[in-house]
Amino acid sequence: MNIGLVGCGRISKNHFEAIRKVPKATIKGCCDIVKERAKEAAKAYDIPYWTTNFEDLLKQEDIDLISICSPSGLHPAHGIMAANYGKHVLTEKPMGVRLIDVDQLIKACNDNDVRLFVVLQNRLNPSIQIVKKAIDQGRFGKIHMIVANVFWSRPQEYYDLSEWRGTWALDGGAFCNQASHYVDLVQWFGGPVKTVMARTDTLARNIEAEDTGAAIIKFDSGCIATINVTMLTYPKNLEGSVTIIGEKGTVRVGGIAVNEILYWKFSDSNEVDFIIDEFSTDPNSVYGFGHEAYYDNVINSIINEQKPSVDGNEGRKSLELIEAIYTSSKNHKIVNL
Ligand SMILES: NC(=O)c1ccc[n+]([C@@H]2O[C@H](COP(=O)([O-])OP(=O)(O)OC[C@H]3O[C@@H](n4cnc5c(N)ncnc54)[C@H](O)[C@@H]3O)[C@@H](O)[C@H]2O)c1
């Protein structure tokens, strides 16, 4: 599987490192509108082709898959261009910042018969996989409540790094960017969402979108969830956790990238309960280890024509929920999904 990557910024390094380690994957080209970034990435990772023009990257016939690491609002346009060139598309999260654009991306991939993948790598954390398995096995019984807390710290300098950060057109706020993995996990664990009520605000940072917010979600199952997000935690990241409270089990996953099982109690007994610490990992950043596992999953699902961990329709669900959170906050109304 030959890969071309667009957007050689911060997260691209996780992609280059992951591709290096995954068998059957080779990075063949990279692109960034900033010439030095494309050139330096090519040098650092031994990439044979680099360009500042995305279309030129797409014209490379030996490239099978395009990895999109550009600002979030550009993901749909870049993905549609790649699909029209017959390339498979892997996009960083979130898939886009507006559902209407993301739906066009899904359509373009279907029309061109190429695959679409969304990087929601935290789903592949051993800690998260074991929780999902417990849910699917019915170990929680009825799930009553899910709580996600994202108490992180992003100073003004972080937003000032690039003009796209914190803008509605290209980024969105704390829910759409930093907390999007947590929104995804809440909906993945809770199932179909019935209604959303939310309040978001820009309390301290000089950006268009929100730096803080809270959402209350009611699921079809009856379960209630809350997602509490702030990028204003003093003095540094404090918590990124998901807690699930069911009639027969309670679990909390935390750590810097929902990588650690902090609490694990069930009324029944299962062999994993005795080795639960083995499902905790120790990544060195909030991005976690997941990009390598994610690429492995993507490449295998293309080669073996299997369903991947997160395809376009699966990735769309969290964006639909984020859009509902923004609509509810803007209109001061409950939103039905
Ligand atoms: N999966 C994760 O955990 C995770 C973590 C961090 C970031 N991300 C996502 O990755 C994306 C990029 O984030 P980042 O922090 O690397 O941003 P960044 O600003 O560091 O990098 C973006 C790069 O895209 C380039 N670019 C912009 N417009 C372009 C265009 N038209 N053509 C080619 N290149 C262009 C910029 O020059 C920049 O180098 C965002 O969508 C973000 O949400 C995901």
Considering only 160-164, 230-234, 253-257, which range has the smallest mean pLDDT?
253-257
Instruction: State mean pLDDT over 96-118.
Output: 98
How do residues 55-83 score in pLDDT, each as one tens digit? Answer: 999 999 999 999 999 999 999 999 999 99
Confidence at residue 95, expressed as pLDDT on a 0 to 100 scale? 97
Burial group, residue 92, by CB count within 10 angstroms (0-12, 13-18, 19+) = buried
How do residues 3-31 score in pLDDT, each as one tens digit? Answer: 999 999 999 999 999 999 998 999 999 99
Considering only 20-24, 114-118, 135-139, 218-222, which range has the smallest mean pLDDT?
20-24
Calpha distance 279→272 (Å, rounded): 9
Calpha distance 102→75 (Å, rounded): 8
Evaluate if residue 286 carries a pLDDT over 60.
Answer: no
Calpha distance 70→76 (Å, rounded): 10
- Contact 76 CB / ligand 1 (< 6 Å): no
- Contact 177 CB / ligand 1 (< 6 Å): yes
Q: Which of 58, 70, 185 has most ligand 1 atoms within 8 Å of CB, for mutation?
A: 70
- Contact 72 CB / ligand 1 (< 6 Å): yes
Instruction: State mean pLDDT over 291-312.
Output: 92
- Contact 283 CB / ligand 1 (< 6 Å): no
Evaluate if residue 283 carries a pLDDT over 90.
Answer: no
Same fold, 2-119 and 123-285+317-336: no
Q: How many Cβ atoms from other residues are within 10 Å of residue 224's Cβ?
A: 16
Per-position DSSP letters for 185-220, written without gaps between them: HHHHHH-SEEEEEEEEE--SSSSSS-SEEEEEEEET
Confidence at residue 97, expressed as pLDDT on a 0 to 100 scale? 98
- Contact 74 CB / ligand 1 (< 6 Å): yes
How do residues 170-227 score in pLDDT, each as one tens digit? Answer: 999 999 999 999 999 999 999 999 999 999 999 999 999 999 999 999 999 999 999 9
- Contact 257 CB / ligand 1 (< 6 Å): no
Q: Does domain 2-119 have CATH number 3.40.50.720?
A: yes
DSSP 30: E
Instruction: State mean pLDDT over 130-148.
Output: 98
Evaluate if residue 274 carries a pLDDT over 60.
Answer: yes
Confidence at residue 220, expressed as pLDDT on a 0 to 100 scale? 98
Per domain, the residue ranges of the chain are 2-119, 123-285+317-336
Confidence at residue 32, expressed as pLDDT on a 0 to 100 scale? 98
Return the closest-CA partner of residue 264 out of 108, 94, 254: 254
Instruction: State mean pLDDT over 101-126.
Output: 96
Query: How much is the pTM?
Result: 0.96
Strands of the 26-31 sheet, one edge to the other? 49-51, 26-31, 2-6, 65-68, 88-92, 116-119
Superfamily for domain range 123-285+317-336 = Dihydrodipicolinate Reductase; domain 2 (3.30.360.10)
Q: pLDDT grade, residue 290 (50/70/90)?
A: confident
Instruction: Give the pairing of strands 143-151 and 116-119.
Output: unpaired
How do residues 152-181 score in pLDDT, each as one tens digit? Answer: 999 999 999 999 999 999 999 999 999 999
- If you measure from the C-alpha of residue 171 to the centroid of ligand 1, how many angstroms do you get, rounded to a whole number? 10
**285 vs 247, higher pLDDT:** 247
CA-only gyration radius of the chain, Å: 20
Would you say 136 and 130 are in contact if contact means Cβ atoms under 8 Å apart?
no
- From residue 225, alpha-carbon distances to 46, 129, 203, 335 in Å are 46, 20, 23, 15
- Contact 124 CB / ligand 1 (< 6 Å): no
Instruction: State mean pLDDT over 145-154.
Output: 97
Calpha distance 229→232 (Å, rounded): 9
What does the angle CA 290 – CA 291 – CA 293 come to, to the nearest 5 degrees? 65
Confidence at residue 282, expressed as pLDDT on a 0 to 100 scale? 79
Average pLDDT of every residue of the chain: 96
Shortest-distance atom of ligand 1 to CA 34: 37
